[in-house]
Chain A
Amino acid sequence: MLPKNNVFLLAVLSVHFSSVIASDSNMNKEILEFNGFLETRVGVRIMDDARQKNTSIGEVRLQLEAEQEFDEVTLNIVTDFVYDSVLDVYSPDLESGEGVVDLRQANIVMSPVDFMDIKLGRQLLTWGTGDLLFINDMFAKDWNSFLIGRDVEYLKAPTDAIKVSMFFNMFNVDIVYTPVFGSDRFIDGNRITFFDRMNNTFRGRDQPLSVDKPVDAFDDDELSLRLYRSFGANEVALYYYHGFWKSPAGVNPLSGNGLFPALEVYGASIRGTVAGGIGYAEVGLYESDDSAASNPFSRNSERRLLMGYERELASELTGSLQYYVENKQDYDDYINSLSVGSIVDDKNRQVFTVRLTKLMLQQELNVSLFNFYSTTDKDGFARIVTSYKLSDDLKVEAGLNYFYGKYQYTLYAQFEDSSNIYAAIRYDF
């Protein structure tokens, strides 16, 4: 990784660079497109958490976006400047997105031959069919942003990669190569307290999780493939991923540091029109590190399945349902590897989600309810977002993230004390 100060310089320079291009109007007739927004977002915890500040989010964010077209190449830069009073860290770290600069995109796009598109550099990547549930989308997520109530665009963390897309008559291929593993911006205790199973305790900002991350360029790399085609308006895709678990899925028993075991994923998805709505299904086989089955400190292989259906229920009201299951492989080995008194996961972790979205007042008011509920973990996460556009460029937003559950150690329930409400005002330009 580049030293942090250099990275900061790079980001500033790249913005400067694009404005230089803008002034050189003889170079190209295409004009530089320049946009962005300024936003303030504040939120508080609705439960007491002695391990965290009472403020769950408190930030001012300026996003600048520039796009410049040359003859054959398009240059995109999107960068955020953030004043974040909760984390209180100001030296930029472009990998974690912490500090005053979060470089979201810095890439060039070109089509060297007619059937190929290439996107090179820092970019946001998404594929797959799920709604806030992911099986074959192995691109980095920012779970902190998602849980503290940033705009949903921040659920996606940027990836430094080359994406080559090829388009043929029979099918299309996407190849994404990431030279250095880019992890999720995972829950490490700094913003959101989590349950540490090994030590049977909660950990917050006083005791954040340290990790040993694979960092060797071209050695600790990632490869994502997608093969897809359409049959009319129905879409079918096959996926492959070679890399690592994106959030810590193992523990070094000596240091207690989080680990990212090697991972391969094979998957498929289908999406199309079903009974007046959109239906989809996705499967994935998660092949964890070889030794994982009998290693209590490493996550086992899994089979995952997702099914979803979305349709319009009434005018400007859309509803969707999803069923998701993680099926732990080598379950007997897993049970045998646990020490006495350990928390035992079910063989299948099942989750149902419901979404309702209502548009009102000529679509200026948007109310969205989303609830995750796991019938096996007996926990859930309710997410309510409302936004109202005061004018074309001014928007206010308010929301709730509420975590609940029977046991303190399950995925959603462990965040119970991080339940929060927030409000934001955003000016687009």
Chain B
Amino acid sequence: MKLLNYLISVILLMTSLPAYSMEGEEVMKRALQAFYYQGHDQRVKAHMEIIDKQGRKRIREFVSLRLNVGGIDGKQKYYVYFNKPVDVKKMVFMVWKNIQQDDDRWLYLPALDLVKRIAASDDRTSFVGSNFYYEDVSGRGLSEDSHKLIGETEQFYILSSKPKIPENVEFSRYKIWVDKNSFIPMKIDYYDKEFIYRHYETLEMKSIDGYMTVLKAKMEDKRTGGETIISYSSIKYQQGIPHKIFSERYLRKVPKKYF
């Protein structure tokens, strides 16, 4: 009987601790997969509205081709062709996203027929002047933060993630709400110590070619009062985009076939 009592008390003790169905890191891994790695390749048209505190709007429009090179949390290649604003029309931005080292970036300037290498190591700077950072667009490495599951509702896993190297980033932690069905991050609050200074929200999503896909999202910067709304359209997966598209040849000659 003593043994039985002991066992019961152990079981009671265990169940009284919050018991989550998944580990934080596993949730984050699946969230990154759902957000950045769906399908082997993807073509998308993006429309950004950058709105400042005074309500002034700037527009960015581009077509992006993405190819997964490795598996989950692996390398990717991006080809970004700009349509708007007009002064950057036909410019192409190409990224070979690396995991353990800096990304390789190229910019093609059609007015000079110039293929330029971009020396950029900071992923947490504005992408084309918007409130999204490079890293928000192409994904942050799973192992760069420690992810802890801090709550669970019917709809969400709630994670708190802390940077492993705090000097490299401007946030002290972020809290993220991940949709349990699709694993799409629905909401992210970035903290500077105790203040939320940056806020992300998925506004619209839809299943496309069998993949749950974000159609509209928002990033607010509480410090500047600005926000950017990004809308995606003409989304296609599994186009069979070949590796060679992500090379100098196609910087100079746009692969319209995949647009």
Contact = CB atoms under 8 A, between A and B. Distances in A.
Contacts of A428: 85-87
A362 B126 contact: yes
Which of A126, A152, A156 neighbours the largest number of chain B CB atoms within 10 Å of its CB?
A: A126
Interface of A: 35, 37, 69, 109, 111, 117, 123-127, 152-153, 155-156, 165, 167, 172, 228, 230, 233, 235, 271, 273, 276-278, 280, 310-312, 315-316, 318, 320, 362-364, 391-393, 395, 426, 428-429
Given A123-B113, A315-B122, 7 more contacts: A35-B86, A125-B113, A153-B109, A167-B244, A312-B120, A316-B126, A426-B87
A273 B247 contact: no
Contacts of B87: 37, 393, 395, 426, 428
B113 A117 contact: no
27 contacts: A109-B253, A111-B253, A117-B253, A123-B113, A124-B112, A126-B112, A153-B111, A155-B112, A172-B249, A235-B248, A273-B102, A276-B121, A277-B121, A311-B119, A312-B120, A312-B122, A316-B125, A318-B120, A362-B52, A362-B129, A362-B226, A364-B129, A392-B84, A392-B85, A393-B86, A393-B87, A395-B87
B37 interface: no
A276 B128 contact: no
* Secondary structure of the A contact surface, majority rule: strand
B117 A278 contact: yes
Pick from B50, B113, B125, B248 the residue with the most CB of A within 10 Å. B113
Contacts of B59: 392
Contacts of B129: 362-364
A152 B111 CA distance: 9
Contacts of B96: 233
A124 B253 contact: no
Given A165-B249, A312-B122, A363 B256 contact: no
B119 A69 contact: no
Contacts of B58: 391-392
A164 to B, nearest CB: 13
B89 A35 contact: yes
Interface in B47-70: 50, 52, 56, 58-59
Contacts of B8: none
Contacts of B117: 271, 278, 280, 310
A362 B50 contact: yes
Interface of B: 50, 52, 56, 58-59, 84-87, 89, 96, 101-102, 104, 109, 111-115, 117-122, 125-126, 128-129, 224, 226, 244, 247-249, 252-253, 256
Nearest to B56: A391
Central interface residue in B85, B226, B248, B256, by most chain A CB within 10 Å = B248
B60 to A, nearest CB: 9
Contacts of B252: 117, 165
Given A35-B86, A276-B102, A156 B113 contact: yes
A426 B112 CA distance: 18
B112 A153 contact: yes
A126 B113 contact: yes
A386 B84 CA distance: 21
Contacts of A362: 50, 52, 126, 129, 224, 226
Contact of B86 (A153, A235, A310, A429): A429
B124 to A, nearest CB: 8
Contact of A156 (B86, B112, B118): B112
Nearest to B106: A233
A34 to B, nearest CB: 11
Given A362-B226, A392-B58, A315 B249 contact: no
B119 A318 contact: yes
A393 to B, nearest CB: 6
Contact of A393 (B85, B112, B122, B249): B85
A319 to B, nearest CB: 9
A69 B256 contact: yes
A312 B113 contact: no
A392 B130 CA distance: 13
Nearest to A111: B253
Contacts of A277: 119, 121
A308 B52 CA distance: 38
A126 B248 CA distance: 13
